[in-house]
Structure 1
Amino acid sequence: MKTFKGLVIREASRGESSKSITVLCAEYGVIDIFVRSGMKSLKSSSATQVFSYSVFCADEKKDSRGRVNYYLNSAEPVNIFYRIRLDVKKTALASYFADLLCYSRIENSDCSEVLKLTLNSLYFLDQGTREPDLLKSVFEFRLLCELGFRPYLVGCNHCYAYESDIMHFNFKTGLLECEKCCRNPDSIFDYRLDRTLLYIVRYIALTDYSKLFNFKLSDAYLKKLADFTEKFTGYYFTNDFETLRFYKII
């Protein structure tokens, strides 16, 4: 039996009374846990509902193919992020976060930084102390950074200029080019970053979690940042997320 903390990011019914939950945990990444009688039993209902951060005790069994399956023994909630469930817009955004995590499907690897990012994002969403659109952009971009897609943002890839009025970022190469050195400004992968937007993008990619959410943006730059992070995410996650569409129309 294994004991670990994890965040429930998806629920699915299994038969008439049982269910499976998809859990993000630091030690094992994204795993599925089978919950017997999970649709009817009140014993672990709060700990196994979506967006609950809980302590899980699970039995580990291997199937005929050698794949590890987890079966819930017990669970106790640590934080159920109750306020998220009271607001449809917050629920939609949290569901979008969950979809991104499920799509990435990180398995058998250290996910402590991804879990930290997710819990911090849900905490501020639950408390209502940060603009939801800002949380969305920070989560999108930093998640991709933690998954190994952090771009090279130090300076121009050719002349090493730290900044210019316009810096060109290439989604395909993950590199920056200044206005003078940009070789293909009309490329479909090219994105123009002004000084302020470049600073914001660098901040999200590189700053420590203790400071990551400690900033505010004007409406104009919230829109610019959202456009950039959605396109960055769309390049690597070639999927049309219904939860994102729903969040944007609320």
Structure 2
Amino acid sequence: MSYSVSSFVYFVQDLSEYFDDFVERLMSQLALRGTAITDQHVESDLAKFKVRYMDEKGTLIIMPIGRDIKAVYQVSGGGILRKGLWGAITGGGLSTIVGSLFEESNKDRLLSLVGGLVAGGATGVYDGFNTAMQEATEFSRMLAQAIQSVEEELREIKRGKEAAIGARREEVRELESQLEEAYTELTVLKEEIDLAASEGKKVDKAKNRLERAEKLLEEAEESLSAGKRAKVKANIRAAQRMIELAREALEETT
């Protein structure tokens, strides 16, 4: 497929998991900036619509490509900053080129076309973020600003989620460490109780408390696997207290 001087490509890295949110926020940004949006077609892995901004009109297609998001804007009329380009844009069957993307009904083929469209890789395909002033359109420049604004919002959300995930992982590691320490203390005390019992001492009270501590730790392990961190903390504290009481009861036998 060939392209006239009409396509602007916008590439947003590592945000495809936020595709739906990206599309919704971008459409809102464009509307707030004075863009009329028509012929909307939005799915979980595809968004395409026609736009009109001042005297400029065109089509916008957005798709997740792997972990990234790619948007392609194609001009169909008006808005060129350097009027000398308009002959190249309006000539050479531009309407067919625009329609070949916007009207493509085969999603796999559309994914292949959009995914393979690279700025500089074909005549008239430009990087929407870094297009020189004389090669841009009013809408392509405004679209770049809107996409960058949405990207910043989503990256902030992503950073917050990643920080929260990191904090949860650290908390889980700490709980695992506390469980291991409690089990170690329980094992040592159990051996001491068994030794005292072999010497004929009455260890029922200490043994009962230790068994309760062991049960609490087992429940804590189950809760940790289920992601119930608050329950894990409560059980570990209770088990540690039972271990303390078991040791006190053992010391009373000496």
User: TM-score, normalising length from structure 2?
Assistant: 0.28
Tell me: higher relative CO, structure 1 or 2? Use CA pairs within 8 A at least 6 residues apart.
2
Higher strand share goes to which structure? Answer: 1
* Structure with the greater alpha carbon radius of gyration: 2
Choose between structure 1 and 2: higher helix proportion.
2
